[in-house]
Chains A and B, each alone.
Chain A
């Protein structure tokens, strides 16, 4: 083995130790500097805490918050969705699937000609932009403040029509049922059905 360049056995460490460099400057000035630092810590104890207490206290979101969707109903329980698929066309993420179907005299789900038979929103695709809500001509689709949507499988996050429909109000009847007596779909769209409101 060839002779390597001799390495200094001491990397200058002992020289530094011999020089006796003081680790900290313990005079009155540094003491007050420390006190000043700890004073910040001390006063923080009396400041108002900004941390949210989320799982225990659930504060409501802002009014225009984009949360989970809701398919609305008229006051008598008929669905507002007419199955026009404009929401699905507007969706930039292709998260909505609608299949329309014609109402019949025996089975009427919405006033007018058509209703949404299949309505699915894939929440793993949805970006909560609200373009579907803007596109909806009958105000059938709106957004709620609900945001606790996390789940453990893909299929659980595809919401069906039953998951999205608004709950029935008191006095409202679950569709299918006929339109109110003497009213047409035009009255429904104009909101002229206040007399059948009973809640």
Chain B
């Protein structure tokens, strides 16, 4: 919009944040990115029984420019990785990514040379959803958690403040080689 970049921190900015968050979270348009069996559950989520229309997101956009949510449903092979990144780059600015299922989140049981070990190597992921494949209810839960995340998103100077805090926290965090077990 450009308006929020000029507002000082305070009542006006938080009002714009709340309004923008409310609008954004209730009008998510997912891009179709079904890659494997998780896509079947994603289609069930769009169908009549689970009905994505209740969350204002029943239209799965085939063109990335009209979409703002990418649900990566399925394992991403190394050959698919640049395609995924290009689709992500083509999506307009406030956009979010859900890594649906074990394979998209971390590679799952396919710990081999052909599969990308988690789409967060390629695109920033907002919500990780475990399951193989996750039930449509689990996807709905992930989307509701994403709604919460979008609703509380900061803009303008508040956003810059958050970015600085995240950066500082990442620098102060314990390095992974000092962590225990699977966390290392």
Contact = CB atoms under 8 A, between A and B. Distances in A.
Interface of A: 50-52, 54-55, 58, 92-94, 97, 99, 118, 120, 122-129, 147-155, 157-158
A125 B111 CA distance: 9
Contact of A93 (B50, B102, B134): B102
Nearest to B180: A118
Q: How large is the interface on B (under 10, 10 to 19, 20 to 34, 35 or more residues)?
A: 35 or more
Contact of B50 (A51, A126, A128, A150): A51
B144 A125 contact: no
Given A93-B109, A155-B183, 12 more contacts: A54-B140, A120-B182, A122-B182, A124-B105, A125-B108, A127-B132, A150-B128, A150-B129, A150-B138, A152-B127, A157-B105, A158-B181
Given A51-B54, A120-B182, A151 B127 contact: yes
B145 A99 contact: no
Nearest to A149: B130
Given A93-B111, A122-B106, A151-B145, A51 B132 contact: no
B106 A51 contact: no
B156 interface: no
B142 interface: yes
A153 B135 CA distance: 20
Q: Chain A's interface: helix, strand, loop or mixed, by majority?
A: loop
Nearest to A96: B182
A125 B115 CA distance: 13
B153 interface: no
Interface string B88-101: 00000000000000
A149 B131 contact: yes
A50 B136 CA distance: 14
B138 A152 contact: no
A126 B48 CA distance: 29
Contacts of A124: 102, 105-106, 108, 118, 128, 130
Contacts of A50: 48-49
B145 A147 contact: no
Nearest to A53: B54
Nearest to B106: A124
B137 interface: yes
Contacts of A127: 102, 108-109, 132
Contacts of B142: 150
Nearest to A99: B181
B145 to A, nearest CB: 5
B182 A148 contact: no
B149 interface: yes
B69 to A, nearest CB: 14
B4 interface: no
Given A97-B181, A150-B145, A155-B183, A125 B131 contact: no
